[in-house]
Chains A and B, each alone.
Chain A
Amino acid sequence: MSARETALVALLGVLATVADGIAVRNSTAPETVPAIVLRDGNQTDEEAVFSPLMFNITHQAEVEIIAATEAALDALLVAVAGAITADRTLGGAVSFAHPEAPSLATVDVEGSAPAFAAQLPVTLMFTATGSPAA
């Protein structure tokens, strides 16, 4: 398993400790409210280290959270950020995990009370050997 996949699986494991384990990864099906969805995201930085060859990778995953009220959304954001910062190595899978400031939006369809969504970037720093793809 690649260092990236190890990090994402560990992050999903941490998210699963929040809100009765509703967290899922890369879901494309409609979820029920409240929802926590981990999106794999992209690598944002890499630094090569020689002798021995390895790469310090910075990867940004996105955690999307949707709740029925602003207060419920905030509680989930606090819970998710708290679960990550409680162990920033995610059980040893990464060297550092850091929740960033969330983007906020409302979800609305005609005839429905609005739901509230947040997109929380989570920066994951880890080391890959061989190549950044591995």
Chain B
Amino acid sequence: MSAFDTAAATIAADPNMATAATFKASGAGPGVACRVVRSRPDLIGQGFGTEVILATHLLAVRVAEVPEVAKGDTFTLGHEVLVVRSATRDVENTMWSMEI
């Protein structure tokens, strides 16, 4: 296990950083228990000369817990069902970063 895997596992285990979720490929099937890091900052986008505030929603999950994520897969957090719009892995292939 690399230092990055260890760091990711520590973050995922931390109750302040991550929350429990259930992953379902294409929103169906039995579901895989995992821990996800949720990030929802407002960011500023630009259309022509006008800047606008846009709400964002990102999830991160360890590749060790969920090896494959694709568009249309879902994460259930409590009563919330979040549908993945896109998923990319980091350089170390440790974490998935997903747009919701």
Contacts and interface: CB of A to CB of B under 8 A. Distances in A.
B56 A105 contact: no
Given A110-B99, A111-B99, A111-B100, A64 B47 contact: yes
Interface stretch (A3-11, A24-32, A52-60, A126-134): A24-32
B71 to A, nearest CB: 14
Interface SS of chain B: strand
A64 B39 contact: no
Contacts of B45: 107-109, 112, 115
A35 interface: yes
Contact of B44 (A27, A64, A105, A109): A109
Interface string A103-128: 10111111111011101000000000
Interface of B: 39, 43-58, 85, 99-100
25 contacts: A30-B44, A30-B51, A30-B52, A30-B53, A32-B52, A33-B53, A35-B50, A35-B52, A37-B49, A39-B49, A62-B49, A64-B48, A64-B49, A66-B47, A66-B52, A105-B48, A107-B47, A110-B43, A111-B56, A111-B99, A112-B43, A112-B55, A117-B48, A117-B50, A119-B48
